[in-house]
C-alpha cells in the first residue's frame, strides 16, 4: 500500500474532523486507526485546533496539514467515521476512501443559510420559553425574529472577515439593540427574556463540552485552546450586549 497516499488519507480525514468540530481524541484515534488498517502498525498522530500531523516509523518524513476554519458539522463527522469503518472492513479501497473524503470536503453544507437562520430563530424562541418558564407568545415571536437576524449577522460577518469573534460580537449587539427597540416601540414585554432566548444560537455550547472532554482525555493543549476560544466567544457576546445597553 502506498505510504504517501495513506498519509494523505489520514491527514484529510483528520482535517475534516477538526473542521467539523470533533473532539481531538476522536480525530487522533481515527487517524491512527486508518494507518493501522493500512498496515502501518507503528504510527503517531498529533492534532491541535490549527493543524494535523501524522508520522509512520517506516516513512522517511512526517506530514502536516493546516486547519484554517472550524465549525460544527456532525454530518461530516458521521460520514468520516462510516468511511473509516468501511475501510477497516475492506468494503472500500484506499483510492475510494480518498475520493470519498475529497467529496466530503468539497461538499456544501447540508443546510442552506436560510434554513440555518430559520432554525436559529426557532431555537431562540423555544429556548426562551424553556429558560424563563414563561409562555409569553408575544415575546416568542420577537425572540424568533431577533434571534434569526442576530444569527444571520454573525454567520455572514464570520464568513467575510478573518477577525475572529467579531461576528459573535456584532451579532449579539444587533440582538440587544433590536430587543431594546422592540420593547420600547413595538410592544415587546420583557427585554431579558427575549435576549436570553435570542442569544442562545451564538453560545458555543458544543465547543465548551468538547473542551472539557479533551481535558478529561488528557489532550491538555487542545482542551485549553478550545476552552480559551469558547471563553472569548462568550466574552464577545457579552461585550456586544453591553455596548447596546450602554448606547441605549
Q: Which of 50, 22, 24, 44 is nearest to 32 (CA)?
A: 44
Instruction: Please determine, for residue 9, whether its predicted confidence score (pLDDT) is greater than 70.
Output: yes
Per-domain boundaries in the chain: 3-106, 113-247
User: Residue 61: is its pLDDT beyond 80?
Assistant: no
Q: What is the dihedral of CA 158, 159, 164, 169, to 10 degrees?
A: -10
Please give the average per-residue pLDDT across 79-87, as a whole number.
91
Quick check: 62 pLDDT over 90? no
Is residue 238 scored above 90 in pLDDT? yes
For helices 166-185 and 220-247, what crossing angle results, to 10°?
A: 30
Q: What is the pLDDT of residue 122?
A: 93
Average pLDDT, integer, range 218-231? 86
CB-side neighbour CA atoms (13 Å) of 145? 11
pLDDT > 70 in the chain, percent: 100
Average pLDDT value for the chain: 88
In the chain, the percentage of residues whose pLDDT exceeds 90 is: 35
User: Would you state the pLDDT for residue 11?
Assistant: 92
Percent helix, percent strand, percent coil in the chain, to nearest 5: 70, 5, 25
CA-to-CA distance for 176 and 229, rounded, in angstroms?
22
pTM over 0.85: no
Extended strands (E) in 2-67: 43-47, 51-56, 62-66
pLDDT single digits (tens) 84-127 = 999 888 888 888 999 999 999 888 877 888 999 999 999 999 98
Q: Does residue 151 register a pLDDT over 90? A: yes
pLDDT attached to residue 235: 93
CA nearest neighbour of 18 among 60, 54, 59: 54
Give the per-residue pLDDT at 237.
93
In angstroms, the Cα distances linking 214 to 11, 210, 217, 221, 231 are 20, 6, 5, 9, 16
pLDDT at 1: 61
Amino acid at each position: 500500500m502506498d505510504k504517501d497516499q495513506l498519509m494523505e488519507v489520514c491527514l484529510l480525514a483528520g482535517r475534516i474532523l477538526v473542521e467539523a468540530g470533533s473532539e481531538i481524541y476522536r480525530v487522533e484515534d481515527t487517524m491512527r486507526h486508518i494507518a493501522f488498517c493500512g498496515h502501518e502498525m507503528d504510527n503517531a498522530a498529533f492534532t491541535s485546533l490549527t493543524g494535523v500531523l501524522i508520522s509512520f516509523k517506516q516513512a522517511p518524513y512526517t506530514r502536516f496539514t493546516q486547519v484554517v476554519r472550524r465549525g460544527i458539522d456532525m454530518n461530516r463527522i458521521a460520514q468520516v467515521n462510516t468511511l473509516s469503518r468501511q475501510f477497516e472492513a475492506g468494503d472500500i479501497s484506499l483510492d475510494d476512501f480518498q475520493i470519498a473524503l475529497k467529496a466530503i470536503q468539497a461538499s456544501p453544507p447540508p443546510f442552506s443559510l436560510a434554513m440555518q437562520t430559520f432554525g436559529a430563530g426557532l431555537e431562540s424562541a423555544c429556548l426562551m420559553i424553556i429558560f424563563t418558564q414563561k409562555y409569553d407568545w408575544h415575546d416568542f415571536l420577537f425572540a424568533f425574529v431577533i434571534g434569526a437576524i442576530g444569527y444571520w449577522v454573525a454567520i455572514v460577518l464570520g464568513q467575510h472577515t478573518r477577525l475572529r469573534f467579531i461576528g459573535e460580537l456584532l451579532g449579539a449587539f444587533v440582538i440587544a439593540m433590536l430587543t431594546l427597540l422592540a420593547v420600547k416601540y413595538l410592544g415587546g414585554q420583557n427585554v431579558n427574556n427575549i435576549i436570553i432566548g435570542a442569544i442562545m444560537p451564538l453560545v458555543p455550547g458544543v465547543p465548551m463540552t468538547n473542551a472539557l472532554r479533551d481535558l478529561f482525555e488528557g489532550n491538555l493543549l487542545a482542551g485549553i485552546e478550545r476552552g480559551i476560544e469558547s471563553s472569548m466567544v462568550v466574552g464577545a457576546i457579552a461585550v456586544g450586549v453591553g455596548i447596546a445597553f450602554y448606547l441605549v
